[in-house]
Amino acid sequence: MKRLSSKEIPVTETLETATEELTRGATFASRYEIIEELGKGGMGKVYRVEDKKIKEEIALKLIKPEIASDKKTIERFSNELKMARKIRHKNVCGMYDLGEEKGTHYITMEYVPGEDLKSFIRRAGPLSTGKTTFIAKQVCEGLAEAHELGVVHRDLKTQNIMIDNEGNSRIMDFGIARSIKGKGITSAGVMIGTPEYMSPEQVEGKHIDQRSDIYSLGVILYEMVTGRVPFEGNTALSIAMKHKSEAPKDPKEYNAEIPDGLSQLILKCLEKDKEDRDQSGGEVRSELENIEKGIPTTDRAIPKRKPITSREITVTFRLKKLFIPALVVIALVIATVIILRMLPHRQASIAVLPFTDLSPQKDQEYLCDGMTDEIIAKLSKLQGWKVMNMTSMMRYKNSDKDIKEIGRELDVATILEGRIRKEKDDIRVTAQLVNAEDGFQLWSETYEQKLERVFDIQSDIAEKIAKALRTKFSPEAGEQLQKKPTENLEAYRLYLQGRYFWNKRTEEDLKRAIEYFEQAIEKDPNYAMAYVGLADCYAVLPDYSYISIKEIIPKAKAAALKALEIDNNLGKAHASLANIKNDNWDWEGAEKEYKRAIELDPGYATAHHWYALYLMNMARFDEAIEEIKRALELDPLSLVINRNVGQVYFYARQYGQAIEALKRTIEMDPNFVYAHQLLGMAYSQKSMYDEALAEFQKEKDPSWKALTYVRMGRIGEAQDVLEDLLVRSKKESISLYTIATVYFVLGEDDHGFEWLEKGYGKRSGWVCNLKIDPALDSVRSDPRFKALLKKMNLE
């Protein structure tokens, strides 16, 4: 019977009834026109459809209601498909999306015309060694690509391998098997994994890795050469238990023509202990190639190009077959150029995802982080660009989130993703720029260079991204894109480790960061950014310890000035110097440096962040809120910026907004320093005393606990807090400002000013909050308070 083409099928109205009623010509979800039903499975029906939006035939898999009714199942589907979509390989069927239409969940994927391997074996019988190795090598290549990206199939079987119309093997349904909850058969009667192909560790519910797929591949090889699977039974459980406890028969017992090498390889893949199997698809492929060399040339399957019309997988290779795809590629390139030119000019926005380490030893994480950081740094220097900062992007490291979801979360139009593979002194870098809205690839390139050329690769990627997004930049900006941070890779690695610990913001981690930055400087004394890192650590250390600002400022200032001596146009160095001047109460000098830093490096979130805190201390709250919002826009997942959004709102006396911001921070990391303290302070100002005390239990600064006790009328407990502080101050460094504030809330103003003067003399931490701290509201009219403000140039 002649099969109608999609154009010949009459179009009916969009279907809004149950999925069982989908018929040829119907339209599903106002987008997918049904061409034919391809089959049924444990999960539901599969249809060949035309996607009317992109004018392309795809496969549509409708998920059974009994499966889709579990929200956790759908969530797992979504998470798995995000990973599966990253696999782009000629031997893997592309996975597209998970959607819902009027309560019906569905999966869209690439449509592969042809025949699944199970059907082919049933029709053709046991395959020859040549055909077996030909098909299996392609399956190994697809598996190797998936495994390299950390994706395990978990339900590999002959039904999930398609032989397309050109004779090539394609693995189907990546990202689906793991999504369904449980093992064996669910109450809804849905098979999780297929018992005939399950590895022993899968049967036992143990941890699954790529070697489970190698076992399933062994079953597939067994079936190809014998026409049967190694274990059969009456129930799913009986079959599964055989995988765990029984040894498979040698496939030569069923097919004496199988070469010894192939028989041994199959049995090796079927070893019960995964340590005894081949460990990767690449290893299996190498053994298959060796086996193939030992069989007659006439028995080898050579890829030709024609549809499968008989039991032979043979095709004629025609120039026309190549010419048409070539025209398609050319047309796509031309269309892309036209589309890009037609797009309206607007602010470029980009997120650079952490590069993935694909090196054999998985030991190049520092290099991946360095690549990410440096490209971000280069792009952030381009005027008018919105570039997500490194701290936010590190939260997507090893994430399986979809490009579209990341784009929505960060509110960016484009995303750069990349991979690095290093072997000895050689490095292979693959980068691609993607439209975050639709996943359309805008630019991609692969670099194969010596390791010492890594900085050249970074510069080239940044420049080509700018060109791909049609950004014109000045010669000065072009020089910045080409500039190398250092010539010393070891210094670079040490610098990155320093930044990692600096971002953790604890006293211990900041001290470790200082050590790394100092080691980086030893490796390269002219490494300006290492001096910036050193200056930043010294500048913030008093905020996270009882080390005096007065003691640490000279070290911080020396490091910042050294960085500027090396490179006076380094925005980050100007930001560091501004922060130091701020701590030294040189308010005018600090603001000048903050503005210079932002002018040189407008995308540097930390400059906006620190400037916001400066403006807050000056009681310029509207400006402070604007700057901290800009910092958050550039670095939305930074814990410290999220926390300090709450801090700015708190001192601006906008306590409701402060509480919201601090709750968001704590959701991101419940243990992040001082977030609970600030939240408790905001609760106290809202007279939510029980909530405030609960938050104070999680932090070590007791000043606001004492103030809250006083407001609750629990004066004795507030006095206990003060006595504890005084005792501890004799043995350890206690903030003098903190002791002063507790005296003030207890009404002992003379003692309060005595300790406040001590804090002023030693430049104690938090004294710069004098002008804005609600804890000092009771003494603001006191002449001694006004005199102190004048001495600090705050009045």
CATH of the domain at 184: 1.10.510.10
How many folded domains does the chain comprise?
5
* Residue % of the chain over a pLDDT of 90: 38
How far is the C-alpha of 750 from the C-alpha of 736, rounded, in Å? 14
Residue 337 counted as domain residue = no
pLDDT on residue 471:
63
Same domain for 71 and 174, yes or no, is: no
Same domain for 529 and 559, yes or no, is: yes
Statement: residue 300 has pLDDT above 90 = no
The more confident residue out of 608 and 452 is: 608
Query: Out of 254-263, 479-488, 683-692, 767-776, which region has the weakest mean confidence (pLDDT)?
Result: 479-488
Same domain for 313 and 353, yes or no, is: no
| 614 pLDDT tier (thresholds 50, 70, 90) | very high
Same domain for 457 and 502, yes or no, is: no
Q: What is the largest CA-CA distance in the chain?
A: 104
Same domain for 419 and 505, yes or no, is: no
Residue 306 counted as domain residue = yes
Q: Nearest 10 degrees: CA dihedral of 618, 622, 625, 630?
A: -110
pLDDT on residue 311:
32
Statement: residue 504 has pLDDT above 60 = yes
pLDDT on residue 587:
94
Residue 680 counted as domain residue = no
Q: Please identify which of the residues 116, 155, 213, 369 carries the catalytic annotation.
A: 155
Q: How far is CA 311 from the centre of its chain?
A: 46
| 2 pLDDT tier (thresholds 50, 70, 90) | very low
Same domain for 137 and 90, yes or no, is: no
The more confident residue out of 714 and 14 is: 714
pLDDT on residue 544:
78
Q: How are beta strands 32-40 and 441-450 bridged, if at all? A: unpaired
Domain hosting 261: range is: 114-317
Mean pLDDT of 52-70: 82
How far is the C-alpha of 469 from the C-alpha of 464, rounded, in Å? 9
Same domain for 547 and 461, yes or no, is: no
Residue 624 counted as domain residue = no
pLDDT on residue 254:
93
**Within 10 Å of residue 102's Cβ, how many Cβ atoms?**
11
How far is the C-alpha of 316 from the C-alpha of 321, rounded, in Å? 10
CATH number reported for the structural domain that contains residue 509 in this entry: 1.25.40.10
Question: Which of 416, 451, 484 finishes a domain?
Answer: 484
How far is the C-alpha of 214 from the C-alpha of 146, rounded, in Å? 12
Residue 653 counted as domain residue = no
User: In this predicted model, what pLDDT tens digit does every residue of 508-549 receive, in sequence order?
Assistant: 999 999 999 999 999 999 999 999 999 989 988 887 777 777
Same domain for 86 and 118, yes or no, is: no
Mean pLDDT of 742-756: 93
How many residues in the chain?
A: 795
pLDDT on residue 630:
94
Mean pLDDT of 603-623: 94
What tokens does 441 get? 């690839």
Same domain for 453 and 412, yes or no, is: yes
Statement: residue 746 has pLDDT above 60 = yes
| 765 pLDDT tier (thresholds 50, 70, 90) | low
pLDDT on residue 260:
93
Same domain for 127 and 169, yes or no, is: yes
155 is catalytic: yes
Question: Which of 438, 460, 484 finishes a domain?
Answer: 484
pLDDT on residue 339:
45
Taking CB atoms within 8 Å and a gap of at least 24, the contacts of 782-788 are: 782/749, 782/753, 784/753, 785/753, 788/753, 788/756, 788/757, 788/760
| 184 pLDDT tier (thresholds 50, 70, 90) | very low
User: In this predicted model, what pLDDT tens digit does every residue of 201-256 receive, in sequence order?
Assistant: 988 888 888 999 999 999 999 999 999 999 998 888 889 889 999 999 999 999 99
This prediction has a pTM of 0.55
DSSP SS3 for 181: coil
Rank 119-128, 381-390, 475-484, 658-667 by mean pLDDT and report only the highest.
658-667
pLDDT, the chain, mean: 82
**Within 10 Å of residue 453's Cβ, how many Cβ atoms?**
14
What tokens does 633 get? 């826009």
Residue 584 counted as domain residue = no
Query: Out of 131-140, 243-252, 578-587, which region has the weakest mean confidence (pLDDT)?
Result: 578-587
* Residue % of the chain over a pLDDT of 70: 86
Please report which residue ranges of 318-419 form alpha helices under DSSP H.
319-342, 365-380, 390-393, 403-410
User: In this predicted model, what pLDDT tens digit does every residue of 453-469 receive, in sequence order?
Assistant: 777 888 888 887 877 77
Residue 670 counted as domain residue = no
Task: Report the DSSP beta bridge partners of residue 356.
Answer: 419
Question: Which of 454, 484, 514 finishes a domain?
Answer: 484
What tokens does 465 get? 């991204």
Statement: residue 493 has pLDDT above 90 = no
Same domain for 278 and 138, yes or no, is: yes
Mean pLDDT of 476-486: 70
Query: Out of 340-354, 533-547, 559-573, 716-730, which region has the weakest mean confidence (pLDDT)?
Result: 340-354
Same domain for 8 and 141, yes or no, is: no
Residue 583 counted as domain residue = no
User: In this predicted model, what pLDDT tens digit does every residue of 650-707 receive, in sequence order?
Assistant: 999 999 999 999 999 999 999 888 899 999 999 999 999 999 999 998 877 788 888 8
CB 222 within 8 A of CB 265: no
